[in-house]
Amino acid sequence: MKKILPLILILSSCATTTTSVYRKSAADENVKPEDDYSWVNQLNFDKKTETKYRSDKDEFDISSEEASHALVKESLTGLPQVRLEETFAKADDALTKINIKCYMNKFDEALKLADDFYGQYKNNTSYWNQLGTCYYLRADYAKAILFYNKSRDLDSKFTPPVNNLGVVYNKLGKFQKALAAFKKASDMSNFSVTPTYNLAQLYLRFGSVGKALPIFLGLQKRSPKDIEINSALAAANLIKGDFTNALAIYTSMDKESLAKPNIGLNYAVALKLSNHAADAISAFNSITAATDSGNKEYAQRVEKFIRN
Distance CA 78, CA 99 (A): 14
Q: How many domains, the chain?
A: 1
Neighbouring CB atoms inside 10 A of 230's CB total 21
| CA-based radius of gyration for the chain | 21
Q: Which long-range contacts (CB under 8 A, 24 or more apart) does 47-51 make?
A: 47/119, 48/119, 48/120, 49/120, 50/119, 50/120, 50/121, 50/122, 50/123, 50/124, 51/94, 51/120, 51/121, 51/124
Q: Is the pLDDT confidence value at 59 over 60? A: no
Q: Is 183 a residue whose pLDDT tops 60?
A: yes
> Rounded CA gap, 186 and 211, in Å?
14
pLDDT band with cut points at 50, 70 and 90 for residue 291: low
Average pLDDT for 265-291:
93
**What is the residue range of 180's domain?**
10-208
Provide the pLDDT confidence category of residue 64 given band limits of 50, 70 and 90: very low
Q: Considering the entire predicted model, what is its pTM?
A: 0.76
Instruction: State residue 83's pLDDT score.
Output: 76
Determine the pLDDT at residue 1. 73
- Residues 110-158 have pLDDT tens digits of 999 999 999 999 999 999 999 999 999 999 999 999 999 999 999 999 9
Give the CATH number, domain containing residue 204: 1.25.40.10
Kindly state whether residue 272 falls inside one of the protein's structural domains.
Answer: no
Contacts for 216 with CB less than 8 Å, ≥ 6 apart: 200, 229, 232, 233, 236
Residue 189 has pLDDT above 90, yes or no: no
Mean local confidence (pLDDT), 43-62: 51
pLDDT band at 43 (very low <50, low <70, confident <90, very high): very low
pLDDT-wise least confident of 35-39, 85-89, 161-165, 247-251: 35-39
Dihedral sign from CA coordinates of 174, 196, 205, 1: negative
Average pLDDT, rounded, for the chain: 81
Residues 6+ apart with CB under 8 A from 94: 51, 113, 117, 120, 121
> Does some domain include residue 156?
yes
- Assign residue 78 a region (left: φ > 0; alpha: ψ between -120 and 50; beta: otherwise): left
Average pLDDT over residues 267-288: 95
